[in-house]
Structure 1
Amino acid sequence: MQLLNTPAPYPAIIWTVVRFMVAEGKPTHKKTITTYLEPGEADAKNSGPVHHSLGTLNDLGLAIRSEADTWSLRGGLEKVGIDDYAGFQRVIRRAVLAVDGEVPDPPDDIRRALAWILMRDPFKESFNWATIDQQHNRSAPDGQLVLANDTRWPSLAEWGRALGLMAPAPHARDRHVPDCTSAVHQVLTDGLERGRSTDSMSVLQLLRRQLPVVPGGSLAASLGCAPEAPKIAGAALSFALMRGEHEGWLVLGQDSDASAVINLHDPDRSSPRFCSSITLLEGDDA
């Protein structure tokens, strides 16, 4: 399955289908879903957005179809509330990135593109299809194209935002930056005790496990995207952690007698910023 190719739907369309199924609260016949969400001629029901959304959810292990063509959510989506978009983000991100190893047919196109994007520096780089095609398309570590054609960029931008791994550039129209702050905040909310200091290397390892497309993560490493040393957080994670500190939901500590530290990329310094502990003050639900 390829998430960046037509006719794979955008995540916002998939979320609409999920919300409807959550509201139903029981296995739902495909005809019922299409009748409400995609009214029209019956012969279009095997080629429209609902059809492809259900197919994508099935491929990701997040929905299952019965012989009677009724559909049920699974893989954690069945526990998501009707207005819980953050919950939807968490579940679909784990599925797309195969954090639990439950994707039998991995969407390699989006993994490759995200791993490359998250190698870049959000402090100074932003992207659209033109910049990738003209300047970067053959710069992936494995020598393959970052994106095969221009039709994949809009899908990558949509999926990157939905997964919390990209964000619209605040300074340039129609561009995106490798800003994974939203995903990092969610991972830390789920993995750390609020108000308790945790050694920074443990936090970095947690982020790499839960976001395996960041440098040092298993998917990134398999594609040739790895930091020079395990303690180097990389530009994208550094940006997210320092943004959390700036926004007040994270404290980055530097203890003089710490036995281990991680290196953060700070463009305002001539050398790396050292961080020995990380404290979550507020979760993403605050």
Structure 2
Amino acid sequence: MALINVDASRPDPMWAVVRLLAHSKKPVPLNGARALLSPPTLASGDKDASEMFNKAVKTLRELGLLHVAESTGELTLMGPAEHLDGQDWGAFAAALRSAVFAPQRNSGLGDNEEQRESRDLTRALAWFLTLDPMGPAVDWDQAQDLMKETPLRPEAGPAVVNAERWRQFCDWAHALGLAARPLLAGGGGSRLIPDCTTAVRYVMQYLWEPGRQVNAVTAVRSVREHLPVLSSGQYSLALHLPNPGDRVAGPALSFALLRGNDEGWMRLELDSDAAMVLQVSDPEQPSSPRYVSDITIQEDPSA
């Protein structure tokens, strides 16, 4: 099943199922969960609510986040979702990213146009994160032109195949912390900015405690391992997308690093004697890159 397709769930209904199971702290019968999350009413939309629940369960199962017992029909969280508490959306998004980017769901990513498991979403994310967050928010009409300017490897087909999948992609990219909605949304929620700050922040704070200083090139390499759809990440390279190189952050990751520095949850530093430095694209000095030798993780000012 393709993730950015009408047959799959969007992330929000999946979160509702996860919250219910995490709060219950024990297996929940399928029909009981359905009754709680899509109760029968006299409203005309009850069929749609039940279908939304069914899609959420199906998608969670296919991502390896939910187990449905054959004998009892009971639902249990599993895999990356097993220890979620149902209160932390960031942890849920991290579990989704872990499932979506799992190698077994992305095999042969650049070899063919198969739109199953996570491949469709992974291709779309890898392409989208080659774009510059400082540009205008992207809608479907603009996306079609931009895909022609930066195509995937020919065997992989287009990054997003139609407007319906684009709308589904917008929901997934935002939920995964790999894109942002414009402040002036408009466009029915189908406009998106390639701002991956939320996901980058989660990964860096997961990897390193406050006060830890990490070489910037080493840090970016680790972030790309966790978020392989970033430029120069494993999946981006498999699709033959532009490769800025190991020591260049690229536009989307540069934007996330600069935001982290401005927001105070990390600090970009430069030691003039450093042997290995990272180039960061800084809109305040567009004619030349900013050089960073180290990244220091700081206490989260929003915590």
* Alpha carbons 1:77, 1:91 under 8 Å: kept: yes
Find the residue that maps to 2:75 and give its secondary structure: strand
1:274 to 291, 294, 297: 291
State the partner residue of 1:205.
221
Spell out, residue by residue over 1:225-265, the C-alpha distance to the aligned partner (whole angstroms, 9 max, x if none).
24242111100000000011111111100110000001111
* Alpha carbons 1:204, 1:233 under 8 Å: kept: yes
CA distance in 1, matches of 2:53, 2:104: 23
Give the AA of the match of 2:146.
H
State the partner residue of 1:85.
89
Spell out, residue by residue over 1:1-28, the C-alpha distance to the aligned partner (whole angstroms, 9 max, x if none).
2111002121011101111111221111
Deviation at 1:183, TM superposition (A): 0.3
Find the residue that maps to 2:79 and give its secondary structure: coil
State the partner residue of 1:170.
183
Deviation at 1:46, TM superposition (A): 11
CA distance in 2, matches of 1:282, 1:131: 39
1:252 aligns with 2:268: yes
Pairwise CA RMSD = 2.2
Deviation at 1:39, TM superposition (A): 2.1
CA distance in 2, matches of 1:87, 1:284: 19
Find the residue that maps to 2:268 and give its secondary structure: strand
Find the residue that maps to 2:158 and give its secondary structure: coil
* Alpha carbons 2:2, 2:120 under 8 Å: kept: yes
Give the AA of the match of 2:3.
L
* Alpha carbons 2:80, 2:98 under 8 Å: kept: no
Alignment of 1:186-205 (within 5 A): 186-205=202-221
Alignment of 1:227-246 (within 5 A): 227-246=243-262
Deviation at 1:45, TM superposition (A): 10
State the partner residue of 2:13.
13
Give the AA of the match of 2:253.
L
1:127 aligns with 2:138: yes
CA distance in 1, matches of 2:104, 2:62: 10
Give the AA of the match of 1:155.
Q
* Alpha carbons 1:122, 1:236 under 8 Å: kept: yes
State the partner residue of 2:113.
none
1:70 aligns with 2:74: yes
Find the residue that maps to 2:163 and give its secondary structure: coil
Give the AA of the match of 1:119.
T
Give the AA of the match of 1:202.
T
2:63 to 55, 60, 64: 60
CA distance in 2, matches of 1:46, 1:71: 18
1:137 to 136, 141, 147: 147
2:121 to 101, 105, 110: 110
1:149 aligns with 2:166: no
- Aligned identity (percent) is 34
CA distance in 2, matches of 1:109, 1:156: 9
Cα gap change, 1:20/1:271 in structure 2, threshold over 3 Å: closer, same or farther? same
CA distance in 1, matches of 2:5, 2:85: 29
Higher mean C-alpha displacement, 188-197 vs 253-262: 188-197
CA distance in 2, matches of 1:171, 1:73: 36
* Alpha carbons 2:38, 2:50 under 8 Å: kept: no
Structure 1 alignment gaps of length 5 or more = none
Structure 2 alignment gaps of length 5 or more = 107-115
Deviation at 1:156, TM superposition (A): 0.9
CA distance in 2, matches of 1:89, 1:26: 22
* Alpha carbons 1:59, 1:103 under 8 Å: kept: no
Find the residue that maps to 2:82 and give its secondary structure: helix
Find the residue that maps to 2:296 and give its secondary structure: strand
TM-score by length of 1: 0.92
CA distance in 1, matches of 2:8, 2:117: 14
CA distance in 1, matches of 2:163, 2:281: 31
State the partner residue of 2:53.
50
